[in-house]
């Protein structure tokens, strides 16, 4: 599975396709591990002091919690390092070394791996907007870089997880994209070296973007499906 992809072609596509305002400064066209990329998540609210800590400090708390209607889903476009940084990593330098191996995560192990389990259990799911991703075609015996995009040219939203690492005043926001098996996929089974399992990004259907971010844990796995081959287009990358 390749770890290189293209960002959206223009800033207005973030609002047009995903309903989020673009950041003031967009990353470069292509993103690799350790580089900064953009992802969409539920609006992040820092953890607040618990009721117990408030009582200990003498703060008043209501006798009975008031029933409030569920808040509408608010999405935000966040920027972070491509390559997950688990909370247990001890230093920023160690985080950068690990990130190249944690740019992609198998969805089958996202809930059990020590690298992604915490982000999964906390519901820190995200959508990674991309115009296309790159894979090597090895059918000729030599890796041929190939650009894979939607047939209609519209942006893709790939399922992912995000994490926030802090230590000694340093902070790193990071993300990883999730992959699914593609051994029987009519298009993606061509890519990746022979003998290895074929994988592809977990591309979400347009109507499922909000549902992926809000679904209960026991339902979230249902979104991990291979995207239809007839909706994807593959072209060898032209060398300049």
- Domains (range + CATH), the chain: 5-47+70-236 (3.90.1680.10)
- Structure-model confidence comparison of residues 25 and 182, the more confident one: 182
The whole-number pLDDT of residue 6 equals 96
Using the structure block, give the residue that is written with the tokens 């770890």. 3
Predicted local confidence at residue 59, as pLDDT: 42
Q: How many angstroms separate the Cα of 130 from the Cα of each of 17, 192, 224?
A: 11, 20, 17
pLDDT at 173 over 60: yes
Instruction: Please give the pLDDT value at position 214.
Output: 96
- Which of the 8 DSSP states describes residue 139? T
Residue 70: its pLDDT value, please? 54
* Mean pLDDT value of segment 133-139: 92
Residue 49 has pLDDT above 70, yes or no: no
Nearest to 17 by CA among 125, 124, 130, 126: 130
Handedness of CA 165, 225, 8, 143 (dihedral sign): positive
Confidence of residue 72 (pLDDT cuts 50, 70, 90): confident
pLDDT value, residue 63: 43
Going by pLDDT thresholds of 50, 70 and 90, the confidence category of residue 71 is low
Measured CA to CA, the distance from residue 40 to residue 23 in angstroms comes to 11
Strand order in the sheet with 232-236: 30-31, 5-6, 132-137, 144-150, 232-236
> Is the per-residue pLDDT at 69 higher than 60?
no
Q: Mean pLDDT lowest for which of 3-17, 92-106, 140-154?
A: 92-106
- Of 13-27, 50-64, 176-190, 222-236, where does mean pLDDT reach its minimum? 50-64
Q: Mean pLDDT: which of 52-66, 67-81, 196-210 is highest?
A: 196-210
Per-state percent for the chain, helix, strand, coil, to nearest 5: 20, 30, 45
Confidence of residue 235 (pLDDT cuts 50, 70, 90): very high
User: Among 12-21, 61-70, 115-124, 176-185, where is mean pLDDT lowest?
Assistant: 61-70
Tell me: pLDDT of 64 over 50: no
Provide the pLDDT for residue 8: 94
Higher-confidence position of 65 and 217: 217
pLDDT band at 23 (very low <50, low <70, confident <90, very high): confident
pLDDT of residue 239: 67
Q: What value does the mean pLDDT of the chain take?
A: 88
pLDDT cut 90: percent of the chain above it: 68
């Amino acid at each position: 599975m390749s770890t290189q992809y293209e960002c959206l072609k223009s800033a207005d596509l973030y609002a047009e396709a995903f309903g989020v305002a673009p950041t003031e400064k967009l990353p470069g066209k292509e993103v690799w591990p350790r580089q900064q990329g953009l992802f969409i998540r539920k609006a992040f609210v820092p953890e607040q002091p618990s009721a117990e800590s408030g009582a200990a400090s003498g703060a008043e708390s209501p006798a009975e919690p008031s029933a409030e209607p569920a808040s509408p889903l608010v999405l935000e476009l966040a920027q972070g390092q491509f390559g997950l940084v688990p909370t247990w990593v001890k230093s920023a330098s160690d985080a950068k070394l690990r990130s190249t191996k944690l740019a992609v995560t198998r969805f089958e192990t996202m809930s059990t791996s020590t690298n992604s389990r915490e982000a999964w259990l906390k519901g820190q799911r995200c959508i990674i907007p991309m115009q296309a991703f790159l894979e090597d075609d090895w059918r000729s015996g030599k890796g041929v870089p190939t650009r894979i995009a939607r047939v209609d040219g519209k942006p893709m939203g790939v399922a992912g997880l995000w994490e926030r690492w802090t230590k000694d005043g340093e902070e790193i926001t990071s993300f990883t994209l999730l992959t699914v098996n593609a051994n029987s996929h009519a298009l993606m089974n061509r890519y990746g070296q022979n003998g290895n399992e074929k994988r592809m990004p977990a591309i979400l259907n347009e109507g499922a973007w909000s549902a992926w971010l809000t679904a209960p844990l026991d339902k979230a796995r249902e979104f991990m499906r291979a995207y239809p081959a007839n909706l994807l287009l593959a072209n060898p990358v032209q060398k300049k």
